[in-house]
Amino acid sequence: MSAPGCGRLVSAGAAPADGKTVRKRLLALRVPVTVLLALVLLLALRSAQALSINEVAKDLACPCECPLVLEDCNMSCGLEWKNQIGVFIKQGMSKQQIIDYFIAKYGDEARITPWQRINGKVYQYTRSFDEADWAVLWGGVLIWTVLMFLGVYVGVRQVFFAAREAG
């Protein structure tokens, strides 16, 4: 016969653990572990949502003579504004506070409108166009329009004459 308790690891002074005791201990740890995990996730999400310079710059007009959105401008005046935005972000200002600062200091010229945003994007992609590029662009648009018109015209005529011959 073996001695009582052999085959089980029992520490001195501790009662042997049964299934119910282990389950109770695990349930007791569930709440603190869940809270700790939630805090870690919140900290991770907060750092992932950190404000960037371009997030603010995309809602401001460029102060230079170009019609670009500040986000797209790489001229010296635009870079100065971007540096200032970076300083404000490091100081802990929110996006709206930074935009309000620029509008208060420079007026409505700092505010980007939807029309300015469209013009800025068009300018950004076409600013290096010369006369030949513009001619090719508008010639292509004209040819495409004529081909679409002829395609619809011929298609409608065929359907109309097919219906006339059948009826």
Please report the beta strands in 67-157, taking only residues with DSSP state E, as ranges in sequence order: none
Give pLDDT tens digits for 19-59.
678 777 777 778 888 888 878 777 766 554 568 888 898 88
Q: Is residue 43 part of a domain?
A: yes
Looking at the structure, tell me whether residues 161 and 112 fall in a common domain: no
Domain hosting residue 40, numbered range: 20-49
- Could you report the per-residue pLDDT of 74-94, keeping only the tens digit for each? 888 889 999 999 999 999 999
Angle, helix 76-90 to helix 95-106, in steps of 10 degrees:
130
State how many domains the chain has.
3
- pTM value is 0.48
Q: Are residues 116 and 135 in the same domain?
A: no
Mark whether 57 and 117 lie in a shared domain. Answer: yes
* CATH number for 121: 1.10.8.640
